[in-house]
Amino acid sequence: MSEPAAEGDYRLLASETVYDGRVISLVRDTVAMPGGGDSVREVVRHPGAVAVVALDEGDTVVLLRQYRHPVGGYLWELPAGLRDADGEPPLETAKRELAEEVLLAAERWSLLVAYFSSPGFCDERISVYLAEGLSAVDRPDGFTVEHEELDMTIDRVPLAEAVQRVFAGGIRNPAAVVGLLAAARYRAGGIELPPVDAG
């Protein structure tokens, strides 16, 4: 969650929908400033997403190589997906995405961290989960692999190697960067994780 502003500060004066798409919408908000006057903010509204650090008993993590059109190339990422199923809690979305993308289920789930991906212009909130006690499962009924997912590569690498890839610039997806560093720090000990349903 975010810390709320003081009462009366940053009041929303007007909001206009500029674009309403399949995943995102763009609104133009007019906001009263605490020092007087107002300012216009263009805000991308997003349903949110989840990502999963899936670690097996050998401390290897599941990574995906997926083409991302906005950056014009492939990125190494965690299993992840949009929170686009109405009313589905984030943890259930994470479980579904893990099964859909990499055919895995997990015995134990923990919330590592939840963060805003780019709060200067977007309200997208990403919840990153740690999945342990992995086992193979069938792809969920009704799910069809299509588009970029047909071209995905799945790999398992030691967590320490994945962290090194972050610092070497080989992993640049923000959910993967945050999730891998958080998982490595948690595994080092001394960290208390938030409640799993706080995502």
User: What digits encode the pLDDT tens for the residues 68-125?
Assistant: 999 999 999 999 999 988 889 999 999 999 999 999 999 999 999 999 999 999 999 9
Q: Is 149 a catalytic residue?
A: yes
- Which residue did the predictor score with more confidence, 85 or 174? 174
Q: Is 140 domain-assigned?
A: yes
Which pLDDT does position 176 carry in this prediction?
98
Which position among 16, 149, 161, 192 bears the catalytic label?
149
List, as one string, the DSSP characters of 26-55: EEEEEEE-TTSSEEEEEEEE---EEEEEEB
Please report whether residue 198 resides in a domain. Answer: no
Query: Does residue 56 sit in the same domain as residue 34?
Result: no
* Structural domain contains residue 58: yes
Q: Is 173 helix (H, G, I), strand (E, B) or coil?
A: coil
pLDDT tier at 48, thresholds 50, 70, 90: very high
Look at residue 3 and tell me if it is in a domain.
Answer: no
- pLDDT number for residue 149: 72
In a domain, 124, yes or no: yes
Provide φ and ψ at 91, rounded to 5°.
-65, -40
Say whether both 115 and 138 belong to one domain.
yes
Q: For 125-163, how does the pLDDT look when each residue is reduced to its tens digit (9 = 90+)? A: 999 999 999 999 988 877 777 677 777 899 999 999 999
195 domain residue, yes or no? no
Same domain flag for 68 and 158: yes
Q: How many domains does the chain have?
A: 2
Nearest CA to 92 out of 129, 63, 56 is that of 129
Residue 171: pLDDT over 80? yes
* pLDDT of amino acid 139: 84
Residue 199 lies in a domain: no
Tell me, rounded to whole angstroms, the distance of Cα 78 from its chain centroid.
9
User: β-strand 73-77 against 153-158: which pairing, if any?
Assistant: unpaired
Helices (H), the chain: 90-102, 159-168, 174-188
pTM given for the model: 0.93
User: Do 20 and 69 share a structural domain?
Assistant: no
Q: Are residues 107 and 177 in the same domain?
A: yes
Which structural domain, as residue segments, surrounds residue 74? 49-190
Within this chain, do residues 103 and 185 fall inside the same structural domain, yes or no? yes
Q: What is the pLDDT of residues 9-44, one digit of tens each?
A: 899 999 999 999 999 999 999 999 998 899 999 999
Task: Please check whether residues 123 and 38 belong to one and the same domain.
Answer: no
Q: Report which DSSP code applies to 2.
A: P
**One domain, residues 71 and 97:** yes
Judgement on whether residues 109 and 64 belong to the same structural domain of the protein: yes
Q: Supply the pLDDT for residue 90.
A: 96
Q: pLDDT higher for 1 or 118?
A: 118
Query: CATH code at 94?
Result: 3.90.79.10
- Give backbone dihedrals phi and psi of 4, rounded to 5 degrees, phi first: -70, 150
pLDDT at residue number 25: 97
Specify which residues 134 forms β-bridges with.
Answer: 106
Q: Does residue 65 lie in a domain region?
A: yes
